[in-house]
Amino acid sequence: MSGNGLFRYDAVVVGGGPCGASAAFTLARNGYTVMVIDAGKFPRFKLCGGLLTGKSTAFLRDCFGMDASCLARAGALEGCENSYHIYAGGRRIVAGSNGSPFYFVRRDRFDSRLLKSVAAAGAVVREGTKVVHADCRTGKVHCHDGSSVCAEFIIAADGVHSTVRKAVCGGLRHSVRQAVAVEVAVPRRHMPQGVQLPSVHLGLLQRGYGWLFPNRRNIVAGVGGLLCRGEHPARVLRTLLCGCGVQAGHIPQPRGYTLPFGGHLRRPFSGRVLLAGDAAGFADAVFGEGIYYAMLSGSLAAQAVMQALPVRAAGSVLHEEHGAGTFYMQLLQRNLFRTLGQAAVLHRFLYRPPDGPDRAAVRLFLRCAHRLLVNRLHSVPDR
């Protein structure tokens, strides 16, 4: 119980997506008191390509005890494919396959399934409640309805436009590099040439890419990246789809969103607050993969909280060296930062001016080393 009579949780997790669910589930299954607060009501719509790589499915198995059959029973699984195509400059340069399949999920049902596991593990889940402020000194979270929640620690998993980050990080709130993406779902009957395999299309944007992901009923198509002057992703997406034979009248109105694309926070904590997932900018800078890094960083934030709580229980003052932030940084450096740094290097190589002298080198690299990129997506890197 806190000094003002409020029950004090071990942790409050702001955001109930994959990042927040992983954090809350890790804490709850280890016997800690935790509340999850999310502004939406699940299942809720979420724009996302919905790609689960091999390392994502391995994380789901190890953390949640879930496999593809669990996702299928929840109605979340939309497709599974081992093969893929890579295009550059409008030409297919790679037709590859790998042993580990890519899975495609509906994010509304996927996220809802994870959150049900969180509640079943013993966490309190509070939906339809927007957090408007968080105090990194006291651990108090203020909600739009005037209510407050107290916790020893706060894990911010509330996305790229994180309210918690803006509240606690001051001038750092704009330091998460944001890309712009647009996406549509085109019914298969309107794709006369057919899209049987997932494909990635480089060269559509100077610092981004396009994708076509076949699901059971639709083809999820999108374009995203760090925009340069004069680039219009919605127009580029329309051009991509028309090139696949889709009539202009059958292309739905694209919906846009922002996502991290490199440039994560170097010190993603402040006092009692730990930032994870998109709120900290944790996403791959090559293909924008975010689900795995969201789940991993959420779990690491929970582990840091579990390391710090016994120090507080022993009556120690929360000095910096005993704080969850310090433990969190150690875990991130061992498990995440190196991988994201490697992705940033690849980003600078792959995304070059489309008419520049190095494009031939990029095409050669993709032909010869595409398995390296796919292995990066699928495999948990050595630490």
> Bridge partners of 153?
11
φ/ψ region of 344 (left if φ > 0, alpha if ψ in -120 to 50, else beta) reads alpha
Give SS3 for 71.
Answer: helix
**217 alpha-carbon distance from chain centroid:** 24
Q: Would you state the pLDDT for residue 26?
A: 98
Contact between residue 87 and residue 195 where contact means Cβ atoms under 8 Å apart: no
Q: Would you state the pLDDT for residue 196?
A: 79
For every residue of 11-48, DSSP letters joined together read: EEEE--SHHHHHHHHHHHHTT--EEEE-SS-SS-----
Q: Would you state the pLDDT for residue 311?
A: 61
> Bridge partners of 150?
8, 140
Give SS3 for 147.
Answer: coil
Question: Closest Cα to residue 133, out of 146, 118, 119, 120?
Answer: 146
Q: Would you state the pLDDT for residue 1?
A: 52
State how far the Cα of 367 lies from the Cα of 380, in Å rounded to an integer. Answer: 23
Token pair for residue 312? 């507080």
For every residue of 151-191, DSSP letters joined together read: EEEEEE---TT-HHHHHHSGGGGG-S-EEEEEEEEEEGGG-
Give SS3 for 72.
Answer: helix
State how far the Cα of 282 lies from the Cα of 177, in Å rounded to an integer. Answer: 10
Token pair for residue 381? 């890197």
Which are the contacts of 57, defined by CB distance < 8 A and separation ≥ 6?
67, 68, 100, 103
Q: Would you state the pLDDT for residue 301?
A: 98
Q: Please name each of the domains of the chain with its CATH number.
A: 8-79+102-176+264-352 (3.50.50.60), 178-260 (3.30.9.10)
The kind and range of the H/E element at 111 are: helix 107-120
State how far the Cα of 349 lies from the Cα of 9, in Å rounded to an integer. Answer: 46
State how far the Cα of 42 lies from the Cα of 40, in Å rounded to an integer. Answer: 6
Token pair for residue 34? 């935790």
Provide the total of helices (H) and of strands (E) in the chain, helices listed first.
10, 16
pLDDT string in tens for the chain (383-residue length): 554 556 899 999 999 999 999 999 999 999 999 999 999 999 998 888 899 999 999 999 999 999 999 999 999 999 899 988 888 878 888 888 887 889 999 999 999 999 999 999 999 999 999 999 999 999 999 999 999 999 999 999 999 999 999 888 764 444 567 889 999 999 988 887 667 789 999 888 888 899 999 888 899 999 998 888 888 999 999 999 998 889 999 999 999 988 888 788 999 999 999 999 999 999 988 888 899 999 999 999 999 999 999 865 544 444 444 589 999 999 999 999 999 998 888 888 878 665 555 667 777 777 777 777 777 766 766 55
For every residue of 329-352, DSSP letters joined together read: HHHHHHHTHHHHHHHHHHHHHHS-
Contact between residue 81 and residue 100 where contact means Cβ atoms under 8 Å apart: no
Q: Would you state the pLDDT for residue 127?
A: 97
Contact between residue 10 and residue 30 where contact means Cβ atoms under 8 Å apart: no
Question: Closest Cα to residue 365, out of 382, 379, 348?
Answer: 348
Question: Closest Cα to residue 201, out of 228, 233, 230, 247?
Answer: 233
Q: Would you state the pLDDT for residue 319?
A: 46
Residue carrying structure tokens 């049902």: 109
> Bridge partners of 142?
133, 148
Residue carrying structure tokens 């699928």: 378
Q: Would you state the pLDDT for residue 366?
A: 74
Produce one character per residue of 131-164: b if its CB has 16 or more CB atoms within 10 Å, e if not. beebbbebbbbebeeeeebbbbbbbbbbbbebbb
Token pair for residue 360? 């031939």
Q: Would you state the pLDDT for residue 173?
A: 46
Side-chain half-sphere CA neighbours of 28 within 13 A? 24
